[in-house]
Chains A and B, each alone.
Chain A
Amino acid sequence: MKSHWMCSNMVRCLGDGNTSLQKLATSIVFFFCLSDVSCNSVEQKIYVELNNTVPCVRLLNATHQIGCQSSISGDTGVIHVLESEEDLEWPLSKGPNPPYMVLLESSLFTRSIMMKMKNESNRVAGVAVVVPNTSPPEFSPHTTCPNENTGVYSDNYGPNLAHCNTTVWNPRGNGLSYEEFDFPVFSLKEDNETEFIKQCYLDHNRAVNGSAPQYPLCAMQLFSHMHAVTNTPTCMRRNDINFSINPEMVCDPLGDYNVWGSIRPYNDTVFGHKENESVVIAAARLDSRAFFWEVSTGAEGSVSGFVTLLAAAQALREVTHEAPPTRNILFAFFQGETFDYIGSSRMVYDMENGKFVIDLDNIHSVLEIGQVALHSGNNLFLHSDPVSRRNNTVNDVVREELFSSFFPNVSQPLPPSSLQRFLRAQPIPGIVLADHESAFNNRYYESFYDNAANLNLTYPSDLSPEEQLEFVTHTAESLTDVATVVARALYKQAGGDESRVNTIKADPKIVTQMLYGFLVSSNNSWFQAVMAPELKNILTCVHVLGYLGLHCFVFFCLLEPSPPEYYYLLANLTGAATNLTQSQCQKPDELPNESRQMYSYLWVQGIVPPNSTERDSFCVRASVRLTKAVSPAFELGEYASKDYSTWTESRWKFIKARIFLVASRDLEMLTLGVGVAVLFTSLLVTYFISTKADVLFSSTREPASAAY
């Protein structure tokens, strides 16, 4: 989710690129345009701005930079619509008007084409990818072995399992997201603007009968100049230099918040080891990414997992109040797992250094929910770590889990999961639940196609949005079953009453509402009911969740952290509604039985009762907290760390795209030449005239008389 607490620089926040000066300029132009009825701005006659574009941005880590960069004044190229891979010859070698701006259909957005263009990048000014509404058969720009260097498997720990030697988790991965391009790559939707671009190409740029196309040609200009270079230590060092006139921040560390909640509350001010406290951790990840900036939804990659865990948390609420289990259950939602496990590495670091409410020794076991989308007919599989299971105590605990009849494969390593970071610190029994036995079933892992359609989330066409919200889809039903299984397993693992296990059931209505909210539209009545009133604007501005970046909205930037949807959801699903008034909710410590140290108190909007327009707001008390999810490398100042994530995102001034017609270079040079010639001629004439001034302007007056 977006992190706002890093946006301390209001200039960046106020417009995400539009500096205040530009805004002033545009408002002045606008004012003048309004006063003149027929406003003919020359700029509007030349350029057509493209509005629905998404850029690819630059990210840096300890050693490399990835992503795309444009030059500071934009990259201009003659548009060429690529028809096939063989057609690449035209922009790369045969075309007479380099550099070219290549427009690709998504079926041609493959590794081989992008690599060929990267090698000939002096003839390629940029790439625009048209993203269709229907997904291709498979596409994953992530690497084949996600997070291979920051997991638990290394040369010291299970060397034959490291670097995906036994199982390649993401075989469809083409690694494009981790390549560096020195030209801009933008994505366009399939809409009127793209049709306009293609029409412009057909009108002007097509070669007729083998001869070169004539000027003027249709060209596109892409601006996405990134400020950071080289790697994270360099850009963090440049952030800190402050003796120049205009200190500029060039990059920001990726980071946001983890959300955690527990059955029995913990005192938020008492950190470190707790005696005789044994905790079962249930973990899921929140984030995902795509090749382009902030367009990821991660339906199968992350939403399926955390929605299941939220539903399981809700299913356990009742039974844990009536028959509390012996061990506590802690639900942990980690943010930033895509980028070398930012959230989980931070939580493990906090536990190791006594900055979290419990310690690593307090953990009894970990159950993690991985990708559980359960496409038709798939089963659930358990993954465990073979190396730690050689330890007998660990092995016994793992075998005691509910699924004792499903033995995990002992020769296969754990898939990329937060559990790996826990194991890196000390051997803890843990299981990862997933719908894939070895390689991922997800055909669009960490891609912009991992959306509702990937989960087969379909609604009957005649439903209104409110009805869609309530409609229980097949996907929701299967995820509900998984949530029930998870809840029962957690209850048993925590030592709960065996007789009550079968009464635990997850609620399909909640699951389907969450799926609708996270994958279709977050501006729905249920989400609004569980959130605080001041978040209304956030819900209308953004509809894509999941990318862990730093983004300030155009309209305002909250300098205070705004708790994300998952925080409110977990609080509503595991907490209890109270009778406190709004002012009491903000200051609960004045009341005898309430304590802010033990619980969080949230004022939520509530639903609108049928016969009124006012919302029924109330105060929710829940043992749910937010903890910072910034990599320990930034806390420690070790920007070149090999143990922790060091990902940062570059800053930029503005990002835009436009198309226009360009004239030939010869015409431009001719115009310039004529202008220079006129200048020199006029200088010459002036000099001539001034030297012969007395001859040319001789007056017929007699010379002045001697008296003067």
Chain B
Amino acid sequence: MNLERLPNEEKLTLCRKYYFGNVYNVCVWGFAFLPFLWLVNVVWFFKEAFVKPTYTEQLQIKTYVKCSGLGFLLWVAVLTTWITIFQHFRAEWGEVGDYLSFTIPLGIP
């Protein structure tokens, strides 16, 4: 979808939708894919929020993009920490590690 052709109010609505995660009015999806939706928000609206000359809705769009960016970075930090810990210690955790795993690699501890 080309943002160039949208009027500014619609851009704001879209940004807000992506921020709250209810694109196509499906809240469930938004909740699960929040970090990715937030990433999409940041990448897509970055030019609109910070590069383009000012217009009325730009302040709100800026807020949404900033919050999306922060949220995304938080998610990345949490997920990276958990993934590193799990991959490193899964073998040592023994039983707990096996019950937390979805697939267990064969032939290695």
Interface residue ranges, A against B (CB under 8 Å): 69, 72, 225-230, 234, 237-238, 241, 244-246, 248, 250
Contact = CB atoms under 8 A, between A and B. Distances in A.
Given A234-B94, A237-B95, A244 B102 contact: yes
Nearest to B95: A237
A237 B107 contact: no
A566 B95 CA distance: 42
**At the interface, is chain A mostly helix, strand, loop or mixed?**
loop
A72 B106 contact: yes
A238 B98 contact: yes
Interface of B: 94-95, 98-99, 102-104, 106-109
Most-contacted residue by chain B among A72, A229, A246 (CB, 10 A): A229
Nearest to A653: B106
B107 A238 contact: no
**At the interface, is chain B mostly helix, strand, loop or mixed?**
loop
A241 B99 contact: yes
B107 A227 contact: yes
B107 A225 contact: yes
Nearest to B108: A229
Contact of A229 (B95, B102, B103, B109): B109
A567 B102 CA distance: 45
A69 B107 contact: yes
Contact of B104 (A69, A226, A241): A241
Contacts of A250: 106
B106 A241 contact: no
Contacts, number: 29
A244 B103 contact: yes
17 contacts: A69-B107, A225-B107, A226-B107, A227-B106, A228-B107, A229-B108, A229-B109, A230-B109, A237-B95, A238-B98, A238-B104, A241-B98, A244-B102, A244-B103, A245-B103, A246-B103, A250-B106
A244 B102 CA distance: 6
Contacts of B95: 237
Contacts of B106: 72, 225, 227, 248, 250
Contacts of B102: 244
A234 B102 CA distance: 16
A208 to B, nearest CB: 39
B93 to A, nearest CB: 12
Contacts of A238: 98, 104
B98 A237 contact: yes
Contacts of A237: 95, 98
Most-contacted residue by chain A among B95, B99, B108 (CB, 10 A): B108
A141 B108 CA distance: 26
Nearest to A240: B98
A252 to B, nearest CB: 14
Given A225-B107, A244-B103, 20 more contacts: A69-B107, A72-B107, A225-B106, A226-B107, A227-B106, A229-B108, A229-B109, A234-B98, A237-B95, A237-B98, A238-B98, A238-B104, A241-B98, A241-B99, A241-B104, A244-B102, A245-B103, A246-B103, A248-B106, A250-B106
3 tightest Cβ-Cβ pairs between the two chains A and B: A227-B106, A229-B109, A227-B107
B56 to A, nearest CB: 36
A639 to B, nearest CB: 12
A248 to B, nearest CB: 7
Nearest to A246: B103
B50 to A, nearest CB: 27
Contacts of A245: 103
Contacts of B99: 241
A245 B99 CA distance: 14
B28 to A, nearest CB: 23
A237 B109 CA distance: 13
Most-contacted residue by chain A among B95, B106, B109 (CB, 10 A): B106
B89 to A, nearest CB: 15
Contacts of A69: 107
A88 B11 CA distance: 72
A225 B105 CA distance: 12
Given A241-B99, A244-B102, A229 B94 contact: no
A237 B98 CA distance: 8
A245 B103 CA distance: 8
Contacts of B107: 69, 72, 225-229
A244 B107 CA distance: 17
Nearest to B104: A238
A94 B69 CA distance: 55
